């Protein structure tokens, strides 16, 4: 299903032009308009899912193999030194476009970028309590 008001639906389905680096029946991979590094790309499913909470299992199952294929191919072509795969859900987590997408971010030893989140500081007891909430 597409969402008529969603810009990534329009891009994924070719209604708005994009710098496409890969396409198949289910996905389009495009260059990010405001890249964090050279080659920063986004995997977009052609169907609309708001984020990871909504994506169907069949589509989700194809995402990681595609991310791997793109990472291998782009590393070879761009000569990057590493790779971040990132996916944001909801505003607090940095999601700004509410159509599921995966960031493919080539990393270079000279890129001066960082994705580091400092530890929030939890005791062993607090970790035990969190585990209990999740499995309980």
Q: Which residues bind ligand 5GP (CB under 6 A)?
A: 7, 18, 30, 32-34, 42, 88, 94-97
Does the annotation count 101 as an active-site position? yes
Q: Which stretch binds Zn ion (CB under 5 A): 20-28, 30-38, 40-48, 121-129?
A: 40-48
Say which entry of Zn ion, ligand 5GP, none residue 60 contacts (CB below 5 to 8 A, set by partner kind).
none
Q: Min. distance of Cβ 50 from ligand 5GP in angstroms? A: 11
Q: What does 3 interact with, of Zn ion, ligand 5GP, none (CB < 5 to 8 A by kind)?
A: Zn ion
Interface with Zn ion includes 3 (CB under 5 A)?
yes
3-state secondary structure the chain: CCCCCCHHHHHHCCCCCCCEEEECCCEEEEECCCCCCCCCEEEEECCCCCCCCCCCHHHHHHHHHHHHHHHHHHHHHHCCCEEEEECCCCHHHCCCCCCCCEEEEEECCCCCCCCCCCCCCCCHHHHHHHHHHHHC
Q: Of 40, 48, 99, 101, which residue is the catalytic one? A: 101
Task: State the catalytic residues.
Answer: 101
């Amino acid at each position: 299903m597409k969402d008529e008001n969603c810009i990534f639906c329009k891009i994924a389905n070719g209604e708005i032009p994009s710098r496409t680096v890969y396409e198949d029946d289910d996905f389009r991979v495009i260059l990010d308009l405001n890249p964090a590094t050279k080659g920063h790309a986004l995997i977009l499913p052609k169907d609309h899912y708001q984020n990871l909470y909504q994506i169907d299992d069949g589509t989700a199952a194809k995402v990681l193999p595609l991310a791997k294929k793109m990472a291998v191919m782009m590393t070879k072509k761009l000569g990057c030194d590493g790779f971040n795969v990132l996916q944001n859900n909801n505003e607090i987590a940095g999601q700004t476009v509410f159509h599921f997408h995966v960031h493919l971010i080539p990393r270079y030893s000279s890129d001066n970028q960082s994705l580091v989140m400092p530890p929030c500081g939890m005791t062993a007891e607090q970790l035990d309590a969190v585990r209990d909430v999740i499995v309980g």
